[in-house]
Amino acid sequence: MRKGVSRLLRESEAILEVARQGGSDDCDLAVLVGFDGAIRIVQAAGWGLEPLRIDHGAREAYRVTRTGGRVAIEARSQGETCRIAADAPGRSVRSALADRPRYVTSAPEFKLVGSGPIC
């Protein structure tokens, strides 16, 4: 456990790492942690994170958004907020190789060695 780092940020980082490993489909969902420690995952579309946290009576709420290979986490608890984001694994490699050939072709080169008959 890193000193000086809040629980909300540590949990956000852990959720981000898991979300980065997920599929490539876009998503918008919320992970809600109740005061009793119960965890619920719900669709977050159309909700602000704080109203969603309050409506479900959650101690903490984490919004997981994946769009175009980028994953973002917004986290809220009473009196604390954080946002972190990262590219999904492999995205930077794919973008570096986009629209570039993965091979090079060249015409064969022939040189004449000697001037005598072949047979």
- 19-33, 37-51, 59-73, 89-103: lowest mean pLDDT where? 89-103
Q: How far apart are CA 98 and CA 93, in angstroms?
A: 9
Q: How far apart are CA 80 and CA 56, in angstroms?
A: 17
* In contact, 11 and 75? CB cutoff 8 Å: yes
Task: Name residue 62's beta-bridge partners.
Answer: 31, 75
* In contact, 22 and 30? CB cutoff 8 Å: no
Tens of pLDDT, residues 41-52? 999 999 999 999
Check the CA dihedral 92-94-100-106 and report its sign.
positive
Name which residue leads in pLDDT, 3 or 97. 3
Q: How far apart are CA 66 and CA 81, in angstroms?
A: 19
